[in-house]
Amino acid sequence: MKKEDKGRIINELTEQLKQYPHLYLADIEALNAETTSKLRRECFKRDVKLVMVKNTLLQKAMDQVEGTDYSELYSVLKGNTAIMLAMTANVPARLIQDFTKDSKKKEEARPKLKGAYVQEGFYTADDLETLATIKSREEMIGVVIGMLQSPIKNVISALQSNGGQMIHRILETLEERNN
């Protein structure tokens, strides 16, 4: 590969690392062409960018990203490496889990997580279950909204179940306090 091509690839990888906040390193070496195509389609459906990279070029691209030190992931840059880039933290982990759930031998299942940089933290292959259960930003917003709506719904429900009597009693109590 020519030096200019390497430089161009490193620059492209650097831009992609800056663009996506979550990075997964996976081993997809043992996948046949059909399974690899299926994985690529699933990644596309779930807005995950899947890229096969040379480890040395990826490491150089990681070194060029300002503000993030990826050095903890350098130890897993061995063998074949595919990067999975996503805007939502848990999507690549769930995709890996979905893809490997039917495998008879879990240690031989592919794709296999090598390491990840998610929500400004580093994770190893042993953390796949944890990564899959991380709530996305949208899920957390939904939980918070649900928690905020619950008391309001209870008050409205109580007011509706007793009809106008409840409002009348509240008004009488407030009137007595003011007198």
Asked if 99 and 158 sit in the same domain, the reply is no
Average pLDDT (83-110) is: 80
Other Cβ atoms less than 10 A from the Cβ of 80: the count is: 16
On whether the CB atoms of residues 49 and 109 are closer than 8 A, the answer is: no
- Range(s) of the domain holding residue 37: 3-134
Predicted pLDDT of residue 51: 92
The CATH number covering residue 100 comes to 3.30.70.1730
Asked if 106 and 152 sit in the same domain, the reply is no
Higher-confidence residue of 40 and 138: namely 40
The pTM of the full predicted model, rounded to 2 decimals, is 0.73
Asked if 90 and 12 sit in the same domain, the reply is yes
For residue 168, pLDDT over 60 is answered with yes
Asked if 122 and 153 sit in the same domain, the reply is no
On whether the CB atoms of residues 123 and 131 are closer than 8 A, the answer is: yes
Asked if 107 and 38 sit in the same domain, the reply is yes
**15-32 pLDDT, tens per residue?**
999 999 999 999 988 888
Q: Where do we find the tokens 């939904």?
A: 142
